[in-house]
Amino acid sequence: MKVSFKTEKPTGKWAWTQSPFHYIKVDGVEVGVIVHNTWRIRLMVKKEDINEDGNPNCHWKWIQLKKENSTLDEAKNFVKNSMSIISEKYKFHNS
Sign of the four-CA dihedral 63, 57, 21, 82: positive
pLDDT at 6 (0 to 100): 97
Q: What pTM value is reported for the model?
A: 0.88
Which residues are CB-neighbours of 41 under 8 A, at least 6 positions away? 24, 32, 33, 34, 35, 64, 65, 67, 69, 75, 78, 79
Q: What confidence tier does 95 reach under pLDDT thresholds 50, 70, 90?
A: low
Rounded to the nearest integer, the mean pLDDT of the chain is: 93
pLDDT at 50 (0 to 100): 86
Region 36-56 average pLDDT: 91
Percent of the chain surpassing pLDDT 70: 99
